[in-house]
Structure 1
Amino acid sequence: MAEGVIWELKEGTAPPSAPGYKTMLSETLNCTPREFFAAFLSDRSTFWKDVLVERGDKGVKFDSWSSHSKLGTVRSVYFVSPVKAPIGPPETRCHQSQRYNVYENDHLVLETSQVMNDIPYGDYFSVDMRWDVTAASRTTSLVELRINIPFTRKTMLKGKIEKTTAGETSACFAAWMSKAKEHLEIGASQQSEGSGKCVKRGRRKRSSDSASMASHDARDVREHEDAAACSTIRYPGDYASEAAVAPETLTTSVTSWVSSAAPSMQVWMGIAIIVLMLLNTYLFLAPRRSCTCQVGPTAMNGMMQENMLMMQQQILDTQQQLAHVMRGLSETAGRMAAASYDVRSP
């Protein structure tokens, strides 16, 4: 693998996204696809790392881009992300594989796939994403973000995980785009100020021809440095077919449903306890009411003993039934808590 990969076009148009991907975001940015790569994805850019650190991630590490014979240009990203869940580990190790390819008309395709190593059910799925950055005009780009959550094993929580992840990923990258626009505005402002200073110095020190030549050389150097390649390493079907579009993963949170489900479970457990108390009270009083009939002392004692035995047996049966219900509620709560995770999207 060679480092310092240059912006290199692949023949043909970009392949369509694979089945299962859903569009989560579509925004226009004031930059070309090359400028997008230079500002947010190149080895010199710290934007993505700054976003991860700002949201609370630790141990953030970005490998350098390198060329891969089959996947394009690839790198790995590692970080430790906090987990928003009342039960389970407070944080999880995350590994995100990234790759990119450039097609006709500077169509940049960035694909990522992320796994969370320490969360429950973390080995059941990954979060895959695809970015399509295309030229909308000479100075702007259309950025489209799609997400897919492939499962390698079956779980009854699949629907809930997909729904919550999609919602939180959309919100996360809306914030990401807001920061990206702000970043581009600051960069444009600084570039404008720098250009003004260069013009003044050029008037004092250089002729107009020399200044034009220097500007042209600087632009060539900047384009050469900013052009790099970006790609994910692990994707379903990547090696089977190069036309398959690889996914991208960012970490998102799926624990809000646990918080919403917990109160309702507590209510049902409370109701079960109240029912047991009322039933025990009824069973305790029922034999006494039945013994108020006009019978002799010996018959009454026999009836009371018989009713007491029946009452004790009924209480035991009721307690066993309640214990069975409580175990079922506890197992359900455990499964719900175990499914909580935080898939944070950088």
Structure 2
Amino acid sequence: MKIFYAIQATGNGHISRATQLHPYLLKHGTVDFFVSGNNATLDLKLPIKFQSKGCSLYYSKCGGLDYWNITKNIRPRQIYKDADALPLKDYDIIINDFDAITSLACKMQNVHSVQFGHQASFLSKNTPRPEKKSLMGEMILKHYASAPKNIGLHFEKYDSFIRPPIIKDQILEATPKNLNHITVYLPSFDQDCLQKAFNKLNDVQFHWFLSDVTQKNTVNNITYYPVNQKQFNQSLITCDGIITGGGFETPAEALYLGKKVLSIPIRNHYEQECNAAALKKLGVPVVYDVAKDFDQIIANWLDLKITYPKIQANNIPETLDYLFDTYRS
């Protein structure tokens, strides 16, 4: 079987998921990957056969989306050209993890596909939403990477086609410890937005993962790390808690390990607002504004006694069997 797997690289979660799935997919046939977008900072240790700049996200300085930069970097003509060039009819199955170019190519070439990933879960009305829904956000989630078949991933089974998160082997096989540090991963924040707040908590040790850091170094109570999968996993496994955005994979892995989570969703990022609504239902504190007293917010969070529900890990062979059966039906 020849498998085409499209990855939306607007973040590291899609790449991390594909990397975990790759050896399982190889049991079913050969796999060619298509990467669209350029926001991811993880090393691509996958057989990438096709690549496109696609649509990428750009962030403002302190925790928001920069819509001007996002819009001006979209190249509609190139997107159509890239979609037309994908030889999808050469493949037996098309798996799409929220990529618009592959979705467009399937329509142009009259090829079947399945949308597989976290964003597919929002096709269910049962999946948590914020109190104030966004019409534009809902349209993007529904139409951006549409496919005839959909298999979603989320914290809980909100609907019949939704499965548990894909958890990396290093996390699954880990024995969690608490070495009394706080892991920080907030890619939409520049260093100077949060550093003063962290420094005020001089009795708390922070492991802060930043895309512009090239080498591990420690200044006062903060150890700065490059965005490195192995180092991040180790920090997460041994942390007291993690401060992260409103993404899906990182909170899921933290909850699987039984770690404290403080979520700061990216401003005006509707999917992250939806994830924040789901995390709230699980008892996770969510913060929308870090402009004032963020150090006190962290201190209060660390003092909280919270017992989170145990997150189930995805049974990958079972899910892939379901995916292939769904594709053929």
Q: Decide which structure has the larger Cα Rg and report it.
A: 1
TM range (shorter): under 0.3
Q: Which has the higher helix share?
A: 1
Q: TM-score, normalised by structure 2?
A: 0.25
TM-score by length of 1: 0.24
* Larger RCO: 1 or 2 (CA < 8 Å, sep 6+): 1
